Structure 1
Amino acid sequence: MIYQVMIKPSNVEFSIDSEQTILSAAMEQDVILPYRCKVGACMTCICKKIEGEVEYRHLEPMLTYKEQQQGWIFPCQAYAKSHLILTFEE
């Protein structure tokens, strides 16, 4: 399944296949997102999900329940389950 990801407030958009992580899809399309380790340990890529659904297939995110409820995700480990709107600003 192919979804669209929008990064706010810059309104940068890219496509993502449901079989790739958000970070890998962005990198493949030359969309620059912050990252360092690619395994969710460094927290460099953490962003807030404004809209949409993601899932984690390999590693559960190192986020508290409260952080997850607030919408925080790790794009390096998250797979899209719908169209997404994300922000790297609080």
Structure 2
Amino acid sequence: MIYNVLIKPDDIEFEVDSHQTILSAALEQGVSLAHRCKIGGCMSCLCRKLEGEVEYQLEPMLTAKEQQQGWILPCQAYAKSHLILTMEE
């Protein structure tokens, strides 16, 4: 499946295939997201999910509380719906 991702507040949009990470889809489409390691260890790509669902192949390096608050790691997250994300706290 192909899903739309909207990054607020800049209204940056791109598409992500459910079989690729959110970060890899963004980079392929020329959308610059902060990142370093691409494996979830550096936490540079950490952002908050405002709407939508993601899943991980491996458990992310986030606490249950962080996940409940909507924090995701786009370098490891796979979209399972259309998403609205923000890089702001």
With the shorter chain as reference, the TM-score category is over 0.9
Which runs of 5 or more structure 2 residues have no equivalent in the other structure? none
User: What is the Cα deviation at residue 79 of structure 1?
Assistant: 0.2
Match of 2:30 in 1: 30
Which runs of 5 or more structure 1 residues have no equivalent in the other structure? none
Show CA shifts across 1:2-26 (max 9, x none): 0000000000000010000000000
Match of 2:81 in 1: 82
Which runs of 4 or more aligned residues in structure 1 lie more than 2 Å from their structure 2 counterparts after TM superposition?
none
Percent sequence identity over aligned pairs: 74
Show CA shifts across 1:37-86 (max 9, x none): 000000000000000000001x2111111000000000000000000000
CA distance in 2, matches of 1:17, 1:65: 26
CA distance in 1, matches of 2:63, 2:17: 27
Match of 1:13 in 2: 13
Indicate the RMSD between aligned Cα atoms, in angstroms. 0.4
TM-score normalised according to structure 2 size: 0.99
Match of 2:62 in 1: 63
CA distance in 2, matches of 1:19, 1:73: 17
Name the count of aligned residue pairs.
89
